[in-house]
Amino acid sequence: MIFIYKELVKKYINRLSINDLEKFARANNISYSQNELNIIYNFILNNYNDLLNENIRVFEKIKDKISPTLYKRLLNLYIEYKQKYF
Protein backbone atom coordinates (compact mmCIF):
# COMPACT_ATOMS: atom_id res chain seq x y z
CA MET A 1 0.00 0.00 0.00
CA ILE A 2 2.88 2.38 0.78
CA PHE A 3 4.11 2.02 -2.78
CA ILE A 4 0.75 3.16 -4.13
CA TYR A 5 0.74 6.31 -1.98
CA LYS A 6 4.26 7.17 -3.04
CA GLU A 7 3.44 6.73 -6.70
CA LEU A 8 0.34 8.91 -6.37
CA VAL A 9 2.39 11.66 -4.78
CA LYS A 10 5.03 11.42 -7.51
CA LYS A 11 2.38 11.80 -10.20
CA TYR A 12 0.66 14.68 -8.43
CA ILE A 13 3.81 16.65 -7.65
CA ASN A 14 4.17 17.66 -11.30
CA ARG A 15 0.74 19.30 -11.15
CA LEU A 16 1.16 20.90 -7.73
CA SER A 17 0.68 24.65 -7.90
CA ILE A 18 1.44 27.31 -5.38
CA ASN A 19 -2.33 27.88 -5.18
CA ASP A 20 -2.80 24.25 -4.12
CA LEU A 21 -0.26 24.76 -1.37
CA GLU A 22 -1.93 27.99 -0.29
CA LYS A 23 -5.34 26.27 -0.08
CA PHE A 24 -3.85 23.44 1.96
CA ALA A 25 -2.26 25.92 4.36
CA ARG A 26 -5.50 27.82 4.82
CA ALA A 27 -7.46 24.59 5.35
CA ASN A 28 -4.99 23.63 8.09
CA ASN A 29 -4.91 27.09 9.71
CA ILE A 30 -1.25 27.60 8.85
CA SER A 31 0.02 31.17 8.92
CA TYR A 32 2.71 32.13 6.43
CA SER A 33 4.13 35.04 4.49
CA GLN A 34 4.21 35.04 0.69
CA ASN A 35 7.97 34.54 0.84
CA GLU A 36 7.56 31.53 3.15
CA LEU A 37 4.96 30.07 0.83
CA ASN A 38 7.39 30.33 -2.08
CA ILE A 39 10.18 28.76 -0.03
CA ILE A 40 7.99 25.83 0.99
CA TYR A 41 6.65 25.34 -2.54
CA ASN A 42 10.18 25.15 -3.97
CA PHE A 43 11.26 22.95 -1.09
CA ILE A 44 8.51 20.43 -1.86
CA LEU A 45 9.24 20.41 -5.58
CA ASN A 46 12.95 19.88 -5.03
CA ASN A 47 12.83 17.47 -2.08
CA TYR A 48 9.72 15.33 -2.45
CA ASN A 49 11.76 12.16 -3.04
CA ASP A 50 13.61 12.65 0.24
CA LEU A 51 10.32 13.34 2.00
CA LEU A 52 8.72 10.22 0.53
CA ASN A 53 11.73 8.22 1.67
CA GLU A 54 11.24 9.54 5.21
CA ASN A 55 14.39 11.66 5.28
CA ILE A 56 13.22 14.15 7.89
CA ARG A 57 16.67 15.78 7.98
CA VAL A 58 15.87 17.42 4.66
CA PHE A 59 13.77 19.94 6.62
CA GLU A 60 17.03 21.45 7.85
CA LYS A 61 17.30 23.14 4.45
CA ILE A 62 14.45 25.51 5.30
CA LYS A 63 14.80 25.79 9.06
CA ASP A 64 16.47 29.21 8.94
CA LYS A 65 14.37 30.47 6.03
CA ILE A 66 10.93 30.33 7.65
CA SER A 67 9.54 31.24 11.06
CA PRO A 68 10.14 28.78 13.91
CA THR A 69 6.37 28.40 14.37
CA LEU A 70 5.83 27.52 10.73
CA TYR A 71 8.80 25.16 10.78
CA LYS A 72 7.40 23.25 13.77
CA ARG A 73 3.95 23.13 12.19
CA LEU A 74 5.35 21.68 8.96
CA LEU A 75 7.36 19.06 10.83
CA ASN A 76 4.29 18.05 12.83
CA LEU A 77 2.19 17.79 9.67
CA TYR A 78 4.88 15.74 7.98
CA ILE A 79 5.04 13.32 10.90
CA GLU A 80 1.24 13.13 11.12
CA TYR A 81 0.80 12.37 7.42
CA LYS A 82 3.75 9.99 7.38
CA GLN A 83 2.20 7.94 10.18
CA LYS A 84 -1.20 8.04 8.55
CA TYR A 85 -0.18 7.09 5.01
CA PHE A 86 3.27 5.53 5.15
Domain boundaries, the chain: 2-85
Alpha carbons 21 and 27: distance in angstroms, whole number: 10
- Would you list the DSSP string of 20-58? HHHHHHHHTT----HHHHHHHHHHHHHHHHHHHTT-GGG
Report CA-CA distances (Å) from 23 to 30, 53, 83.
10, 25, 22
Q: Assess whether pLDDT exceeds 70 at residue 4.
A: yes
Q: What is the pLDDT of residue 2?
A: 66
pLDDT digits (tens, 9 = 90+) for 26-37: 999 999 999 999
Q: Assess whether pLDDT exceeds 80 at residue 86.
A: no
Contact 61, 43 (CB under 8 A): yes
